[in-house]
A = this chain, B = another copy of it.
Amino acid sequence: MDLKNLIRTIPDYPKKGIQFRDITTLLEDASGFQQTIRELVDPLIDLQITRVAGIEARGFILGGAIAQQLSVGFVAIRKKGKLPGATHSVEYELEYGTDQMEVHVNSVSPGEKILLVDDLIATGGSACAAVELIRRSGGEVVGASFIVDLPDLGGRKKLEALAISVRSLMEFEGD
């Protein structure tokens, strides 16, 4: 099955001129969701990943399933103020202004091999912040996996400049 056919494109969302790539239609499809997880997990088998870190919120859906498939634990990377315990916090840039991502201080142990997961890589702001959070905790980011890459927005290159191995199942160019 070509998973790309299960992605819905919503024109002019969240604002005029943006083609929003909506993965919910893919996740809702039983075969599509299973194939997605399989294709994301297959290249990871030999990486000795110890935990999967998912980025709030859609990265939680994939991260939970991938952690379960790899038989490892799950680490939540959340927006500011959502985690109840002591956190590391990293600021990153949005189109207008900044936001912060956080991780609990003891979620990642020094030397651990962490896989980073989100649904889509665009400008890479939240993903690069997540890499910094994991490294600040002493973890090694052994890869970053996404369903969709929007290469024109440059996020993959930013991650690769941080020496992260990036995998995605499909690209949409011209976004």
A residues near B (Cβ < 8 Å) are 8, 10, 13-14, 20, 22, 24, 27-30, 32-34, 37, 50-51, 54, 56-58, 60-65, 67-69, 71-76, 78, 82-85, 104, 107
Query: Which of A10, A64, A71, A84 has its CB near the most chain B CB atoms (within 10 A)?
Result: A64
The residues of B that contact A64 with a CB separation of less than 8 Å are 27, 60-65, 68
Q: Which of A50, A54, A60, A104 has the most CB of B within 10 A?
A: A60
Report yes or no: A74 in contact with B10, Cβ–Cβ below 8 A: no
Contact (Cβ within 8 A) B84 A13: yes
Beta-carbon nearest neighbor of A107 in chain B:
B28
A107 contacts B73, CB within 8 Å? no
Interface SS of A by simple majority: mixed
Q: Nearest Cβ distance between residue A70 and chain B, in whole angstroms?
A: 9
Complexed CA–CA distance, A56 and B37 (Å): 20
Q: Which single member of B27, B73, B84 contacts A10 (CB below 8 Å)?
A: B84
Chain B residues with CB under 8 A of A54: 61
CB neighbours of A82 from chain B (8 A):
57
Known: A28-B51, A57-B78. 18 other contacts (CB 8 A): A24-B85, A27-B75, A28-B73, A30-B71, A30-B72, A32-B73, A34-B68, A57-B82, A58-B60, A58-B76, A61-B63, A61-B74, A61-B76, A63-B64, A64-B64, A64-B65, A65-B67, A65-B68
